[in-house]
Amino acid sequence: MTVSLAEELIVLLEPIAASNGLDLVTVEVVGGARSRIVRVFLDRDGGIDIDTITDANAWISDALDGVERLAGPFTLEVSSPGIERVLRKPSDFERFAGRSVHVHLARPVEGRSRFFGRLVGLEGEDLIVEIDGQERRVPFAEVEKARLKADFGEVAGRNG
């Protein structure tokens, strides 16, 4: 099984981010060999600011210099994950329990490969999502993509 370039970069950058007090949310690699873009999303409790992003840009650039599969030109973009952040690690699913989430599975479960609802959390090897008042269990190993979905009523309720 071939590891994608994004997965290779996650393995490389995750411990470096942690040593800098940051959480590597995810890495995306888009475009072709001539116009490739590497997007690195970072976060930490309390969020990150432009100074943190600027500092991170330097150590990420240094780390990427040694990646053979990135030979040639590419654009590096470093940013916060935003309000609809990607959920990748088990700790992400625990941290954001109670929030609205959209989950896409590699293979259908109960005839569905997409779930939108309230994230309940993880239990054993299963991700639990509440949909229309019913809890649905899906194997965490089948989660291909997951991200928070903005719920502006939820945000307003927390801030006001």
* pLDDT one-digit tens code per residue, 61-105: 999 998 999 888 899 999 999 999 999 999 999 999 999 999 999
Q: Mean of the pLDDT values across residues 139-143?
A: 93
Residue type, 65: D
Outline which parts of the chain fall under CATH 2.30.30.180: 90-159
Outline which parts of the chain fall under CATH 3.30.300.70: 5-79
Bridge partners (DSSP) listed for residue 129: 119, 136
Task: Look at 10 and 72; give whichever has higher pLDDT.
Answer: 10
Dist. CA 113–CA 138, nearest whole Å: 10
Q: Which CATH class is domain 5-79?
A: alpha beta
Residue 115 and residue 48: Cα distance in Å, rounded? Answer: 29
Q: What is the pTM of this model?
A: 0.82
C-alpha closest to that of 92 among 144, 25, 158: 25
| Multiple choice CATH, 90-159, 3.40.50.300, 2.30.30.180, 2.60.120.620, 2.40.50.140 | 2.30.30.180
pLDDT for 20-36, tens place per residue? Answer: 999 999 999 998 877 89
**Between the CA of residue 120 and those of 42, 85, 110, 128, 148, what are the distances in Å?**
24, 17, 18, 5, 13
Q: Is residue 54 pLDDT above 60, yes or no?
A: yes
* Across 106-131, average pLDDT: 92
87: its two tokens: 């959920």
Predicted pLDDT at 153: 62
